Each structure stands twice: as structure tokens, then as C-alpha cells.
Chain A
Amino acid sequence: DVKVTQSSRYLVKRTGEKVFLECVQDMDHENMFWYRQDPGLGLRLIYFSYDVKMKEKGDIPEGYSVSREKKERFSLILESASTNQTSMYLCASRGGRMNTEAFFGQGTRLTVV
């Protein structure tokens, strides 16, 4: 079974903290994604990576950065967490062709207080 594992299911952080969300996949997928899910807004793409050390901004990259030093791991970084970054964060990975299925992690519910 393909596995996409997110490091935490629930996380509570303070405003101004630096936050790391980790995602690991075990299928040697080229593409990895970070989405933010909010009620009524669906899944919004924050960043995606198509190869090691390669990244592309999504629709809402402000306040976030990413790191992909190894193929299997894609990290989302909140440089200085703010309350408006309280959300559900979903990681996904998929193979290198546009028809391939994306596999998702279980999500991380981040609350910034």
C-alpha cells in the first residue's frame, strides 16, 4: 500500500513560532504537494515540488516556505505562525505523469493561538 505519512495529526502552536510540518511518502513519487483545507474554500495549493530541491509556488504561498532535500520527504515551514494560518494541512504525492492518482496523508490540524 502507498503510504503518505504526516508527522502530526494535531498541533497547537503559539503566534510567532516557527512551525515545521513533515510529510514522507514511500512510493518514490516525483511530485509532492502541500494543501490547506478550509471550510468553503476547498483545497488550496500552497506549494508543490516536482523533484528534489525543486519547488513551485501554488495559489497561497505567502507566509510559508518548503524544503525537499530528499525525494521522499517534503516539509512545510511556517516562518512565523499567525492565527490566520490555523487550518487543516494536507500533504499529497503522485507519480510523474498527469494521469496518476494522488495519495494523501491523514492531514494535520494546526491551531495557532
Chain B
Amino acid sequence: AQTVTQSQPEMSVQEAETVTLSCTYDTSENNYYLFWYKQPPSRQMILVIRQEAYKQQNATENRFSVNFQKAAKSFSLKISDSQLGDTAMYFCAFSSATNKLIFGTGTLLAVQP
């Protein structure tokens, strides 16, 4: 069974600074996808970024990038130039050929002005 672990329940960052959210996962599969989702106070969950396990290059979406370490089963999210609108709960998620989508426990990020 796959598991996703987020060890940081809460984090805080100053506006314009950089923050890294951690995620580790466990699987015996070789091909899979990893995702970061954001849930702002409005509650609507939205996709931030995704990474295919077969790609060595780390995914980047504007200010958001990942550090994917397949051997270590680690998938961290880096947010650069943090903005007040980045304040949200961030969830790491895993998906494989079964199409089941498994989430971690989340990290609550507060961006301070």
C-alpha cells in the first residue's frame, strides 16, 4: 500500500522569502505521479504542480518548484517570493496505475506580511 507523509503540520514564512515544504512517500511501484495541491481558506482545492516519477528533471510552475529525489522517496515543494495569497493548506499526493489518489496530512503555511 502506498503512503504519503508530511512531517510539518505548520510553517510560517515572511512575504517575499522562500519556503520549502517536505513530503515523503512509500511505494513499491516504479511508475507513478506526485502532486502538490493547495487548499486556501476558501476550501477549494487546486493543483499546484505535478511530477512524473520517470522524469529526472524537477517540475517548475512559476514560483513553485519541486525537489524530487526518487531513491529517497522525497518530494518537496519550494515556494519562492512568497505572497500573502500563498497562505493555505498544502497537500502532497500520490497516484499510480490504479488511479487511486492518496494524500498526506497537509502542511498549513502562513505567509506573514
A binds B: yes
Verify if A60 is at the interface (C-beta below 8 Å from B): no
| Contact between chains at B105 and A40 (CB < 8 Å) | yes
Rounded to whole angstroms, the CA-CA distance of A101 and B97 in the bound complex is 14
In this complex, the interface size class of chain A, counting residues with CB under 8 Å from chain B, is: 20 to 34
Given contacts A42-B6, A98-B97, contact A106 B43 (CB under 8 A): yes
Verify if A45 is at the interface (C-beta below 8 Å from B): yes
Of chain B, the residue at the smallest CB distance from A104 is: B45
**Contact pattern, B 65-76, Cβ under 8 Å of A = 1, otherwise 0:** 000000000000
Query: B residues within 8 A CB of A30?
Result: 99
A-B CB contacts (within 8 Å), total count: 61
| Contact between chains at B33 and A99 (CB < 8 Å) | yes
Q: Which of A35, A41, A56, A102 contacts B47 (CB 8 A)?
A: A102
- Which residues of chain A from 95 to 113 have any CB-CB distance to chain B below 8 Å in the complex? 96-99, 101-102, 104, 106-107
| Contact between chains at B9 and A40 (CB < 8 Å) | yes
Interfacial residues, chain A to chain B (CB-CB below 8 A):
30-31, 33, 35, 40-45, 48, 50, 56, 58, 88, 90, 92, 94, 96-99, 101-102, 104, 106-107
**4 further contact pairs, Cβ within 8 A, besides A98-B33, A104-B45:** A56-B100, A98-B31, A98-B95, A104-B44
| 16 chain-A/chain-B pairs, Cβ below 8 angstroms | A31-B101, A35-B103, A42-B106, A45-B102, A48-B100, A48-B101, A56-B100, A97-B99, A98-B33, A98-B97, A101-B35, A102-B35, A102-B47, A104-B45, A106-B43, A106-B44
